[in-house]
């Protein structure tokens, strides 16, 4: 019905042949290709990751628990240790909370003896670690008096202020000693113990050689 030339028929035959060959090759490749298999490994890995995340969360939970306990540990480490001695019923080493006062330490030591000079110690002073709290006793012997004003055996202690037992009001009678310095003197001897010699007064902050020179003829230690 169509009038094709010889060349056109040849071209059409070649085109059909090419399509046929191409279809056969495509089908053959599909038949020979390996199936795609989806392994459960990645899913399992994700599950492991999820599980590890859960374990990590559990670990974090444990750490949080440890952190919840850490304040108690810190509180324990913030306890202080002090030495209470002198006119107390039970001298010794005691452990107290960091905000404790001298009165708390004295109470742990059984309280004061009847011979204690309570007024010479600041019971409200806040404690620090490794502090020594010394409670002086009332002297049982009377102060020595000089029989002669021109005695040559040495200076008399009559009228001298014992810086180991003097109260704040008594220290204020010394020249150049105000409320702040009187408090420092009492705090120093409470923390460090008795003054061994009058010159030790210069260890108190605010008392230098010049001020001590004005005080040395008015003070004593025993």
Query: What burial class does residue 58 get, using C-beta atoms within 10 Å of its C-beta: 0-12 exposed, 13-18 middle, 19+ buried?
Result: exposed
Task: Determine contact, residues 191/131, Cβ cutoff 8 Å.
Answer: yes
What is d(CA 99, CA 101) in angstroms, rounded to the nearest whole number?
7
pLDDT at 210 over 90: yes
Look at residues 182, 164, 165 and name the one whose alpha carbon lies nearest to residue 173: 182
Over residues 39-77, the pLDDT tens digits come to 554 444 444 444 444 444 444 445 444 444 455 544 456
Select the highest-mean-pLDDT range: 25-34, 127-136, 140-149, 174-183. 174-183
What is d(CA 112, CA 166) in angstroms, rounded to the nearest whole number?
18
pLDDT of residue 152: 30
pLDDT of residue 11: 79
Q: Which residues pair with 220 in a beta bridge?
A: 162
β-pairing, 80-86 vs 92-96, is antiparallel
Whole-model pTM above 0.75?
A: no
Task: Please state the rounded mean pLDDT for residues 20-47.
Answer: 61
Task: Please state the rounded mean pLDDT for residues 99-127.
Answer: 89
What is d(CA 102, CA 131) in angstroms, rounded to the nearest whole number?
10
Helices in the chain by DSSP H: which ranges? 6-32, 41-77, 102-108, 168-171, 179-192, 209-215
Higher pLDDT, 110 or 124: 110
Task: Please state the rounded mean pLDDT for residues 118-133.
Answer: 85
Q: What is the CATH number of domain 161-220?
A: 1.10.150.320
pLDDT at 16 over 70: yes
Kindly report the average pLDDT of the chain as a whole number.
75
pLDDT at 199 over 90: yes
**Cα angle 162-166-171, degrees, rounded to a multiple of 5:** 100
């Amino acid at each position: 019905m169509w009038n094709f030339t010889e060349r056109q028929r040849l071209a059409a035959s070649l085109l059909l042949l090419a399509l046929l060959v191409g279809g056969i090759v495509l089908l053959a490749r599909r038949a020979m290709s390996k199936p795609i298999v989806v392994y459960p490994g990645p899913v399992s890995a994700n599950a492991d990751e999820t599980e590890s995340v859960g374990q990590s969360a559990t670990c974090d939970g444990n750490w949080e628990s440890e952190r919840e306990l850490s304040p108690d540990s810190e509180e324990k480490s913030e306890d202080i240790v002090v030495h209470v001695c002198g006119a107390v019923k039970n001298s010794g080493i005691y452990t107290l909370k960091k905000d404790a006062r001298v009165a708390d330490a004295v109470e742990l030591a059984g309280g004061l003896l009847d011979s204690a000079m309570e007024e010479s110690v600041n019971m409200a002073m806040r404690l620090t670690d490794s502090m020594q709290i010394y409670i002086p006793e009332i002297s049982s012997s009377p102060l020595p008096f000089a029989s002669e004003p021109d005695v040559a055996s040495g200076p008399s202690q009559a009228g001298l202020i014992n810086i180991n037992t003097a109260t704040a009001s008594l220290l204020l009678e010394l020249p150049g000693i105000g409320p702040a310095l009187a408090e420092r003197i009492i705090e120093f001897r409470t923390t460090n113990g008795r003054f061994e010699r009058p010159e030790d007064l210069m260890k108190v902050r605010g008392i230098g050689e010049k001020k001590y020179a004005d005080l040395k003829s008015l003070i004593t230690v025993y």
